[in-house]
Chains A and B, each alone.
Chain A
Amino acid sequence: MITGHLLSAADLSKDEALNLLATAKELAAITDGPNKKLPTLRGKTVVNLFFEDSTRTRISFETAAKRLSADVINFSAKGSSVSKGESLKDTAQTLQAMGADAVVIRHGSSGAAKRLADTQWIQAAVINAGDGTHEHPTQALLDAFTIKQHLRAKESDLSGVKVLIVGDILHSRVARSNILLLSKLGAEIVLVAPPTLLPVGIDKWPVKISYDLDSEIGECDVVMMLRIQLERMADSFFPTEREYSRRYGLNSARLAKLKKNSIVMHPGPMNRGLEISADSADDLKSVIVDQVKNGVAVRMAILYELLGGAPIGDSK
């Protein structure tokens, strides 16, 4: 069971991660039934503190909290006093005064979630929903859940699964969290990207690097396409979008090279026609919609583990 906060995929042990996935599986089965609502977190308050835009993650956390009967407060920087210049500290103290039990934070600065968790500004459990270019642990957990569901449903972990992560590794918090988590669960990871979109020091990561998508795609079980983050592409990391798309984009020709049971993933939002073609995104091999669906169950499991009981050591 996880306790305290969820800030990084690196904080999770293999057993904690697998336990969480097992709990999520049970919750997914329950919420597939006629009654999706559980009384478990009645009376708890979850605040969605979003300093950056998000569709999926925010709605997913909101749905997860509501299915467990928690109250949800949505806070986005736009339209709040943050646009008047209020600091993270003052915002946090306001939320503390209102009795938040958990804060789900998405912030443009790497380390914002840890900052909130380490200070005494707020007593709530902090869940990192994406901090800058650092980490996005709940996305990694739902990706692990989706891979397990499709490829390793009966096995205990993800041993032997070969995962190709393609695209902007440099700016991708999704890639960072996934590399940490999936390698811990036994998967083998290959990164495919132009050299300009790989971070410094990547040779020390537990991954293989390749610059050629075509030579790798036939070998993998999972191909995870990353979004080209146009808002972070001010420097010229590649000559043109068209050239990027031709060398590193997923299209029907590359889709045809995939093994029979391989799956296509994308954390969303997609740039259709850039890193993934429309027909690849909608292909039968694509599990992108499953990822979104599983996100709710995984986030329910996280909220349940962090808020469900009394703190460890406080039991009777």
Chain B
Amino acid sequence: MGILLSSSDIDRAIKRISHEIVEHNQGVGNLVLMGIPTRGAYLAERISKFITEIEGPISTGVLDITLHRDDLRLRPPKPLLPTKIPSGGIEGKDLVLVDDVLFSGRTIRAALDAIGEIGRPRTVQLAVLVDRGHRELPIRADYVGKNIPTAKSENVKVHLAEYDGEDLVELIK
């Protein structure tokens, strides 16, 4: 078990991602954020707060993807988590999806389907705190907190203060 990112590393990564999002989209005018529960939603909240400080208010939501998972049939069903559509909707917006760890890419595929249920954004971008590789689908992140090469047998665990009581990213072998 090794610590990959400390609390201040996470903080710096979130700030850098926030700046990159604003820079890449030339402001926040047409931007919305949507976090994927559980921890992606908290990360989206933090990015939203920081972007609001540096640039101006940004509309933020939560996107539950349970019903769109392609491994639904391989596991017991999970309770649904709340979906919160950003105020003003997502139609024609530049939408940034936020998640904690990018791994197989299947969560993001499900998220793209879930977005299609709500509306049609102009663009969809992806921000993740950790990219650990091993993609099973042609999906990549636009904004990455840290690239961490891992073995497939290992597990990357993100802890966030809002949910787990502390900020930490660790590698579990």
The answer for the CA separation of A314 and B76 in the assembled complex, in Å, is: 8
> With A26-B64, A26-B80, A39-B68 given, is the CB distance from A33 to B118 under 8 Å?
yes
Per-position 1/0 for B103-118, Cβ under 8 A of A: 0000000000100111
Query: A311 contacts B76, CB within 8 Å?
Result: yes
Number of A-B pairs whose CB atoms are under 8 Å?
61
User: CB of B74 within 8 A of chain A?
Assistant: yes
Query: B76 contacts A310, CB within 8 Å?
Result: yes
User: CB of A23 within 8 A of chain B?
Assistant: yes
User: CB of A88 within 8 A of chain B?
Assistant: no
* Nearest chain B residue, comparing its CB with the CB of A1: B77
> With A39-B113, A40-B67 given, is the CB distance from A22 to B79 under 8 Å?
yes
User: CB of A160 within 8 A of chain B?
Assistant: no
Cross-chain contact of A310 among B68, B73, B81 (Cβ < 8 A): B73
Query: A315 contacts B74, CB within 8 Å?
Result: yes
CB-defined contacts of B78 to chain A, threshold 8 Å: 1, 309
CB-defined contacts of A83 to chain B, threshold 8 Å: none
Query: B79 contacts A310, CB within 8 Å?
Result: no
CB-defined contacts of B82 to chain A, threshold 8 Å: 26
The answer for the CA separation of A19 and B64 in the assembled complex, in Å, is: 16
Query: B77 contacts A308, CB within 8 Å?
Result: yes
How far does the Cβ of A13 sit from chain B's closest Cβ, in whole Å? 14
Cross-chain contact of B83 among A26, A308, A309, A312 (Cβ < 8 A): A26
Cross-chain contact of A304 among B67, B73, B81 (Cβ < 8 A): B67
* Nearest chain A residue, comparing its CB with the CB of B113: A39
User: CB of B75 within 8 A of chain A?
Assistant: yes
CB-defined contacts of A40 to chain B, threshold 8 Å: 67-68, 72
* Nearest chain B residue, comparing its CB with the CB of A27: B80
User: CB of B119 within 8 A of chain A?
Assistant: yes
How far does the Cβ of B38 sit from chain A's closest Cβ, in whole Å? 15
The answer for the CA separation of A29 and B113 in the assembled complex, in Å, is: 16
Cross-chain contact of B80 among A22, A309, A310, A316 (Cβ < 8 A): A22
The answer for the CA separation of A311 and B72 in the assembled complex, in Å, is: 11
The answer for the CA separation of A315 and B117 in the assembled complex, in Å, is: 28
Query: B73 contacts A309, CB within 8 Å?
Result: yes
Query: B75 contacts A23, CB within 8 Å?
Result: no
User: CB of A236 within 8 A of chain B?
Assistant: no
- A: which residues have CB within 8 A of B? 1, 3, 19, 22-23, 26-27, 29-30, 33-35, 38-40, 304-305, 308-312, 314-316
Known A3-B76, A22-B80, A312-B76; 16 more pairs at CB < 8 Å: A1-B76, A19-B79, A23-B80, A29-B83, A30-B117, A35-B116, A38-B117, A39-B68, A40-B67, A309-B72, A309-B73, A309-B78, A310-B74, A310-B75, A315-B74, A316-B75
- 29 residue pairs bridging A and B, Cβ less than 8 Å apart: A1-B77, A19-B79, A22-B79, A23-B79, A23-B80, A26-B80, A26-B81, A26-B83, A27-B80, A30-B67, A30-B83, A33-B117, A33-B118, A34-B119, A35-B116, A38-B67, A38-B68, A39-B67, A39-B68, A308-B77, A309-B72, A309-B77, A309-B78, A310-B74, A310-B76, A315-B74, A315-B75, A315-B76, A316-B74
